Structure 1
Amino acid sequence: MKTIEWKDWEIFCRVVEAGTFTHGAELAEVPKSSASAAIARLEAQLGGRLFERNTRRVRVTEQGQRLYERVAPHFAALREISAEAASASEQVSGTLRIATPYEVGSQHLAPSLSRLLSLHPNLKVQIDVTWDQPDLLKHGYDLAFVMTNTTLHDSSFASKRVVLVERAFYAAPSLIQARGLPRSPSDLNGWPVIGNADDRRWEFVQDGAEVAVLPVDPRIRTHNAEIRLKAATDGLGVARLSPKFVDEQVRQGQLVRVLPAYASSPLKVYVLMPARKLMPAAVRALLDVMEHTVGAAAPARGVRRAGKAEAKGDTKGDIKADPKADPKADIRSDTKADIKA
């Protein structure tokens, strides 16, 4: 009986998931030439084409799709068993692959990673900066941090909320001098605005309740907070930013917090993970470290599925503004929220 080359089948599944031989080979951790050879062997063995190829992309055939749907769950189960075995050994090693927005990585993740790597010298970390919610399986991530003020996309991945990032409104002294000091949100009508890529309206919050909304049409739109910060300090517009992120510019007098009696809706930072019964040791170690560095709760045994559950609003763990506090005081920059299972 001919020996079955199971690695060829794994490579086949990875190419289907990635949509290209190049990315499929990366996920299977083999050279592209090895991936092409593996698919050729399978096609010869099965007597049919598994992919239609062109110069830029491959498309799985109907036969290939049927085979993938039967085979892929078995490899997923094997990977889960392997991850559980590694976790049980409590050996934190290998490479932890993470996707994160820039602001989350620089403000919240970097201190945790420094502590994690000092505790586990055999661990390596690869970080990709992205503002999109990635497909963890397709791109091979162990964890992805997502920052949103609405809801998560529907997903089969497990999710935990780890941080709330408060936001407020800032402008350069030169812009305030030219426009006048605003006394209410409506006074910002007609001001030039520096916004996030998806900003269409700004919410104004007092004592945890939304009290006003301002439609905005930013003259600069970007997910990159560094660019928004630079544009604001140059007097190009009023910006909505994290107080922690702009602390240095405020202390140096480059920016002024406008409408200090108001905050804005906070950004929720979630961590997404492939749904597994038992977390890999490196993932659990990072979440444990984050408990100490950013105040997130320790990883729970159960995890919430990202998606429709989020549409109902995940607010029970959100920190509300203290009605006894001075309304003119700066809102705390990153209130910590318990992770809810």
Structure 2
Amino acid sequence: MNVENITDLKIFVECAEAGNLTGAAEVLHITPAAASAGLKRLEAQLGVRLLERSTRTQRLTPEGEAYLGYAQRALALLAEGGAQVSESQRELRGAIRLAAPSDLTRRILLPWLDAFADAHPGVSLQLSVADTLHDLVRDTVDVAIRYGDLADSRLVAVKLADTARVLAASPAYLKKAGTPSHPRELSQHDCLSFEVAGRRHVSWTLGTAAGDTATVRTDGKRSVDDADIAHRWALEGRGIIFKSALDLAAHFKAGELKPVLPDWREPMPLNAVLPSNRFLPARVRALVDDLKARFAALG
């Protein structure tokens, strides 16, 4: 099935975003009747109903919700292609929708993103900060920063850094509770858990360079859905945290946190995840390249 009229696609996207046909018509400088005809034409070509409409309200159908992200991305790619071939559009332009973990964003990424935005005034950043995983197509995310290997073969990963989850606690906590000598002793400690990809991360798997492995189910008095709060609890001496070494490095250097069982860790690469690299906008590629260079310099 081919969409025969790009304007019909624009009508659908604007209608979904504006909430009604009149708003879409105003944005596209056409009459409401023309907007209605274009939407009906698109639905006929697709063979599905995209919007449930009444005299007062409208809402996306399940098929419309599924199709919206693809339509938005298609229009964005057409705009990007036009910008790339036009000699008058030399600088990077357009929006970048970026999703990233909360703690990594606050502690490392934010100044880098500010510097990128300042260097490219034609680019706008739409940042989603959360520890949940986004569906890149459904949520129309251009790039997501994620730890670990990809579970979805449709996506493309660009490695930003080789890192690992490591154990850490404050000197005050270790003085009070003692320092474990093996992962199995973690069950005797207050372990600070937080949600990873929507699930509470309480089963910790660690390994050594010699090939030893251990999986420990931890328990503690505190659990949270925001990794940054767990991080703060660790700094306050509330327990042991199992977290990316990238997030903890500055606190190790300052002596605010101490490595616990430093020979034990969980390798966890950090990737920039893309819906596809076939039609990657120049602005997105530039941001990924910039982050990759900054992580390399960070060591």
1:99 touches 1:145 (CA, 8 Å); kept in 2?
yes
1:263 aligns with 2:264: yes
Q: SS state of the match for residue 278, structure 2? A: coil
The aligned runs of 1:99-178 (5 Å cut-off) are: 99-148=99-148, 151-154=149-152, 156-178=154-176
TM-score by length of 1: 0.64
The range that moved more, 43-52 or 205-214, is 43-52
Partners in 1 of 2:213 and 2:224 — Cα distance? 26
Aligned length: 275
**Which residue number corresponds to residue 319 of structure 1?**
none
State the identity as a percent. 24
Residue 227 of structure 1: CA displacement? 0.8
Partners in 2 of 1:176 and 1:132 — Cα distance? 31
Q: SS state of the match for residue 202, structure 1? A: strand
Deviation per CA, 1:137-181: give whole Å up to 9, x if none.
433332222234xx4342533322222332321223343233333
Change (3 A) 1:208 1:152: farther
**Which residue number corresponds to residue 235 of structure 1?**
237
The range that moved more, 231-240 or 155-164, is 155-164
Change (3 A) 1:145 1:208: farther
Deviation per CA, 1:35-79: give whole Å up to 9, x if none.
495774456678996534698953257xx89xx98x998986665
**Which residue number corresponds to residue 29 of structure 2?**
none
The aligned runs of 1:185-264 (5 Å cut-off) are: 185-197=183-195, 198-207=200-209, 209-250=211-252, 253-260=255-262, 262-264=263-265
Q: Which amino acid aligns with 1:169?
A: L
Q: Which amino acid aligns with 2:293?
A: H
- Coordinate RMSD, CA, aligned: 3.9
Q: Which amino acid aligns with 1:91?
A: E
TM-score by length of 2: 0.72
Q: Which amino acid aligns with 1:171?
A: A
1:96 touches 1:126 (CA, 8 Å); kept in 2?
yes
1:202 touches 1:215 (CA, 8 Å); kept in 2?
yes
**Which residue number corresponds to residue 80 of structure 2?**
83
**Which residue number corresponds to residue 276 of structure 2?**
275
**Which residue number corresponds to residue 322 of structure 1?**
none
Deviation per CA, 1:95-142: give whole Å up to 9, x if none.
222111123323443344244234323222221112233233433332
Partners in 2 of 1:210 and 1:232 — Cα distance? 26
Change (3 A) 1:72 1:41: farther
Structure 1, unpaired ranges of 5+? 16-20, 297-333, 336-341
Partners in 2 of 1:80 and 1:31 — Cα distance? 23
Q: Which amino acid aligns with 1:284?
A: R
Residue 193 of structure 1: CA displacement? 0.9
More helix per residue: 2
